[in-house]
Amino acid sequence: MRSRPDLLALYGVAYVLFLYGPLLLIPIFSFNDSIYVAFPLNGFTVRWYEELFANRVMLRAAWNSLMLAAAVSVVSTAVGLLAARALTRYRVSGRSFLLGMISVPLVVPGIVFGIALLILFRRFLGVELSLYTVGAGHLLLCVPFATLTLLSRMESFDLSLEEASHNLGENAWHTFWRVTFPLARPGVLASLLLTFTVCFDEVVLAFFLSGTEQTLPIYIYSQLRFPQRLPSVLALGTCILAVSIALIALAEWLRRGGGRHAQDGGQNA
């Protein structure tokens, strides 16, 4: 096993380069002083960022996305918390069926739910498309993420702590707030961060379900037709990448046990 560890390590590094290499192009070209997004590079500039923050349409779309992601992440985390609680606290009949059902939206292509929800809203309910319809689509996607993220933290609970609190005379509500919730807090935070990012970046459902108010990814997609806007889109992309990588790294850290040797810490840490 030890005879040639270098080859495999080399592959690991090369693979990470393959994963991150293309993404690195976005910040590189966002500072490039040329309207053409192509090599050779032309010198450093921040004008694309200046252009970006003067762009009212973009700011409006960014505001829409922020509000939407905030609302969807809170609602889906609340729904997921209750579901994860039910699945960890009780021996539920049909547990694996429920888990399967909850996982379905993560596997089925977004376009299927995009058109299915579009049909429901437009042809059957006669609802106008708006940020609310996008939010409904994102909720469907984020509830599974929230539930599974929270499950992964809550399955490692020591239920005897709750029992102890119960035996010591605390009622269910107090037990929840003083024992369960503090234990679940890292998971809740991880779930909020993950669902926020998923909702903020989601484009397929938003494409089918958004009305006149754009979300940020829809705005970015609409700019694809104007090559001269590409550098400023890349500046926007750099900001989004920086923020989402920070949020996700934090969420992953919290979810996997925040560095301490939790649940599967023996394997992962």
Partner 1 sequence: MREAEEELPRIVGIARGRRGFLPSDNQAAYGLLFPALLVLFALMVVPLAALLALSFWRQEGFTLLREFSLDNYRFIFALSPEPRYLGAIPFPFENPIYLMLAVKSVLMSALATAAVVLLAYPMAYFLAFRTHQHKFIWLIVVTIPFWTSYLLRLYAWKIMLGGNGVVNASLMNLGVLTEPLGFLLYNPFAVVIVLAHSWAAFAILPIYVSLEKIDRSLLEAAANLGDGPWQRFRSITLPLSRPGIVAAVLLVFIPTVGDYFTPQVVGGTSGMMIGNIVQSLFTRTNNAPLGAAVSIVTMAIVTLVATGFVALAADRRKRPGGRDDAVAA
Query: Which 200-219 positions form the footprint of partner 1 (CB under 8 A)?
Result: 201, 203-204, 207-208, 217
How many residues at the interface with partner 1, by CB under 8 A? 110
Q: Is 231 in the site for partner 1 (CB under 8 A)?
A: no
Residues 173-192 that bind partner 1 (CB under 8 A): none
> Minimal distance in Å, beta carbon 179 to partner 1?
14
Residue type, 258: G
Rounded to whole angstroms, how far apart are CA atoms 241 and 246? 8
Closest CB to partner 1 among residues 83, 188: 83
Distances from the Cα of 13 to the Cα of 17, 19, 20, 129, angstroms: 6, 10, 11, 45
> Minimal distance in Å, beta carbon 56 to partner 1?
21
Would you call 44 helix, strand, or coil by DSSP? strand
Tell which one of 68, 69, 117, 184 touches partner 1 (CB under 8 A): 117
Residues 53-82 that bind partner 1 (CB under 8 A): 78-80, 82
Rounded to whole angstroms, how far apart are CA atoms 146 and 78? 8
Residues 6-45 that bind partner 1 (CB under 8 A): 8-9, 11-12, 15-16, 18-23, 25-26, 29, 36-40
Q: In which residue are the tokens 């029992």 written? A: 163
Q: Which two tokens stand for residue 79?
A: 């729904």
Distances from the Cα of 7 to the Cα of 3, 18, 20, 104, angstroms: 10, 16, 20, 38
Residue type, 119: I
Q: Is 152 in the site for partner 1 (CB under 8 A)?
A: yes
Q: Is 96 in the site for partner 1 (CB under 8 A)?
A: yes
Q: Which two tokens stand for residue 95?
A: 């547990």
Rounded to whole angstroms, how far apart are CA atoms 251 and 170? 32
> Minimal distance in Å, beta carbon 134 to partner 1?
12
Side-chain-side CA neighbours of residue 154 (13 Å): 30
Tell which one of 134, 148, 192, 199 touches partner 1 (CB under 8 A): 148
> Minimal distance in Å, beta carbon 142 to partner 1?
9
> Minimal distance in Å, beta carbon 125 to partner 1?
9
Tell which one of 137, 165, 175, 188 touches partner 1 (CB under 8 A): 137
